[in-house]
Amino acid sequence: MRKARKKPVEIEYLTFEELEKEASEQDKTIDCKEANIKGHTVMWYDKLRKYGIEYNNVFSVETLTGKVIMDKNYVLIIGVQNEIYPCKIDIFEATYEVIK
């Protein structure tokens, strides 16, 4: 079996709370907020039903592989090619070292 190590690159990220604040500052509508993050639209919903599951206080994030639901247990990563994707906090903390 071959092995590889992640290259040491810097990424940008937003916590759920920072993303919520960004959405609130950009869009003042009551039912749905949206934020433009590096050219990507991220939608905030107080209630969202997807595949028969109801979510409360979540973001819908359009990733390279489709829409993903992001709650307070995630951070939003802006990748090296300006792609965005949610990452669970525990995986983020195990994989990345916060530098600023």
Q: How many domains does the chain have?
A: 1
Flag whether 80 is in a domain.
yes
pLDDT of residue 32: 62
Q: Is residue 7 part of a domain?
A: no
pLDDT, mean of each 10-residue run, the chain (100 residues): 90 91 68 78 81 83 90 94 94 90
Q: How many CB atoms lie within 10 A of CB 22?
A: 19
Specify the pLDDT at position 13.
94
CB atoms closer than 10 angstroms to residue 95: 11
Answer whether 43's CB lies under 8 Å from 59's CB.
yes
pLDDT recorded at residue 28: 57
Whether residue 62 is contained in a domain is answered as: yes
For residue 31, what pLDDT is reported?
57
Q: What are phi and psi of 39, to 5 degrees?
A: 90, 0
The boundaries of the domain holding residue 17 are 12-95
Minimal CA–CA distance to 70: which of 96, 97, 45?
A: 45
- Asked whether residue 25 is assigned to any structural domain, the reply reads yes
pLDDT of residue 26: 67
- 2 in a structural domain: no
Annotate the chain with DSSP letters as a single string.
-----------EEEEHHHHHHHHHHH---SSEEEEEETTEEEEEEEEEEETTEEEEEEEEEEETTEEEEE-TTEEEEE-TTS-EEEEEHHHHHHH-----
The pTM assigned to this predicted structure is 0.81
Q: Does residue 100 belong to any structural domain of this protein?
A: no
Q: Is residue 6 part of a domain?
A: no
Is 32 domain-assigned?
yes
